[in-house]
Structure 1
Amino acid sequence: MGGKDSKPFSGKLYRILVGHSAAVTSVSFSPNNRYIATCSADQSAILWDLRTFNPIRTLHGHSQEVTGCCFSHDSKMLVTCSNDRTLRTWRIDSGEAHRLSSHTKVVTHVTCHPSTMKIVSSSADRLVILWDLTEGKLSKKKMTGHKDTVYQAHFSPDGVLIASCSADRSIILWSASSGKQVLSIKDGGSQIMSCPFSPDGTLLACMVDGGRVRVWNHIHTHVVNTLKASETLSVRACAFLPDNNRIVTGSADRCIMLWTAREDRSTPLMLIQEAHAAEITSVQFSSNGKFLASSSLDEQVKIWV
């Protein structure tokens, strides 16, 4: 599964993180595998020590639900975004915060660049904004092209491209250096809720309304796989494993499923039933493949191995 020393994923519950007082909306692991961040509808984010699973610091500052978070490439900064239309950067060592404001509606998602101090945010205002947070060089590029809410935007693993997805039923690929459109993909009449890249950068896992995940090869612009276990399954979150070949999903029916990414199969490789007591909102693997984190409307984050 990813990492020389990592063990095969067994789907066993390892820890439960309890600290939020409302739905947990998203989770993120630091690149150095020392921290995990969780964010919530309780208007806070919590930074946790991944070695002890104890909270290091609760981050207050947003005035509405915190919708997403990501760590900088050097693991020294956390970035959060919120329904309050702002983003905030937080120093890991001190908790010092800075406010970023440019969106005019709720900020739906934020992702950090894999090797520089750039971030990309998406919003209900139809914009994707590329920020450069390099010290002494704060700048931003507003990228226009979507015609409805942009749900997510992700950097490719090499940092060259940005993929964004929208309620306008499209995925747009952008140049991460110029901010210009490279490619637009339409997906058969479905809103596209998320679009993470595979670790090798060749695939996009596009979660569409109706609960399916379509795996796109964006280089050749075709669907290589569609993940949907049943007509009643409604996927709410998806992420690639570090091995490039598998995808994990979390669903409204509280289940976590493990799928093959590159083969068309109608059944999952693994099913964890009733993983949470309520709808799952986010799933994410640590970069070394050791841990899977899942968050839920049940106010908990669970760590799986």
Structure 2
Amino acid sequence: MFIGHSELIFVAEFSPDGRTIISCSSDKTIRLWDVNRGEEMKKIQIDFDIAPSTLYVNFSPDGKTVVLCLDDRTIRLWDINSDREIRKLVGHSNSIWCAQFSSDGQKIVSSSNDKTVGIWNVKTGERLKELKGHSYNVKRVGFSPNGQFVVSGSWDGTIRIWDVTTGKELQIIKNEDDVNDVKYFPDGQMIASCSEMVKFVYGIQTQGKKYKN
């Protein structure tokens, strides 16, 4: 059990090496935890102008940088060692729920209540693509293992697959309920999704055939 946050915890994620957990909370802190010892390693106090809460946090593939989704509609890149902001990504017009690095660490994909998915250049902070198609809040997104595709899950009850280079929508999978999370399997051939009480696995090459629940 990891104890430290004083308010609601939004997200907790493992580092790439599995030795550290990072968490974010409405108490406006980000905390790093030692998995083996169960102890807090570091606390980062969010101290931006309007002191927003952090809605999502995750590691870069090398574990040196974290991406933060703040409720001021911005994405921030934060250096863990120096405890400083590296870059600020601006473009979404509503709350941002998720941001994930590509496997090579060169791009970030984000999801928002503005119904869009964003693809960003990590080095420059430029938004490369704005993917439109969902009709309601986009809750979660993620890259395929090879970085060529993006999967998004929305409260419009659909999962969508996109081409990263062209921004084209390639596939729509209709879920039975709002989609709260969605991820690629390591082989890139299947995706897992979850709704409020149900989990599904879909095959990509079989036009979204549902395999399990």
Aligned to 2:179: 192
Structure showing greater Rg: 1
Alignment map for 1:66-145 (pairs within 5 Å): 66-97=54-85, 98-134=87-123, 137-140=124-127, 141-145=129-133
Which residue of 1 is the match for residue 25 of structure 2?
A: 40
Say if 1:213 and 1:132 are closer, same or farther in 2 by CA, change over 3 A: same
TM-score computed with the length of structure 2 as normaliser: 0.89
- Would the aligned equivalents of 2:28 and 2:46 in 1 still touch at CA under 8 Å? yes
Percent sequence identity is 29
Separation in structure 1 between the aligned mates of residue 79 and residue 40 of structure 2, nearest angstrom: 18
Q: Which whole-Å CA distance do the structure 2 matches of 1:50 and 1:92 have between them?
A: 17
Deviation at 1:158, TM superposition (A): 2.1
Does 1:174 find its partner at 2:159?
A: no
Q: Which residue of 2 aligns with 1:203?
A: 190
In structure 2, C-alpha distance between the alignment counterparts of 1:203 and 1:74, rounded to whole Å: 25
**Match of residue 138 from structure 2:** 150
In structure 1, stretches of 5+ residues that fail to align are 1-15, 227-305
Matched residue of 2:2: which SS?
A: strand
Question: Higher relative contact order by CA 8 Å / sep ≥ 6: 1 or 2?
Answer: 1
Query: Where in structure 2 are there 5+ consecutive unaligned residues?
Result: none
Q: Is contact 1:105-1:125 (8 Å) kept? A: yes
Most deviating of 80-89 and 50-59: 50-59
Matches within 5 A, 1:58-69: 58-61=44-47, 63-69=51-57
Tell me by how many angstroms 1:80 deviates: 1.0
Amino acid of the structure 1 residue aligned with 2:140: Q
SS where residue 184 of structure 2 aligns? coil
> For the aligned residues, what is the CA RMSD?
1.8
Given that 2:75 and 2:88 are in contact with CA atoms closer than 8 Å, whether structure 1 keeps it comes out as: yes
> Aligned to 2:7, what secondary structure does the other structure show?
coil
Q: Secondary structure of 2:183's partner?
A: coil
1:28 and 2:10 aligned: no
Cα drift, residue 152 of structure 1: 0.5
Residue 77 of structure 1 deviates from its aligned partner by: 0.4
Check the 8 A contact 1:170/1:187 in 2, yes or no: yes
Aligned pairs, number: 207
> How has the CA–CA distance of structure 1 residues 59 and 118 changed in structure 2, closer, same or farther, with 3 Å as cutoff?
farther
- 2:45 and 2:35 map into 1 onto residues whose CA distance is 17
Deviation at residue 118 of structure 1 after TM alignment: 1.0
Whether contact under 8 Å (1:69, 1:81) holds in the other structure is: yes
Letter in 2 for 1:152: R
The answer to whether the 8 Å contact 2:31/2:40 transfers is no
Counterparts of 1:175 and 1:61 in 2: how far apart (Å)?
36
Distance change in 2, residues 1:48/1:117 (3 Å): farther
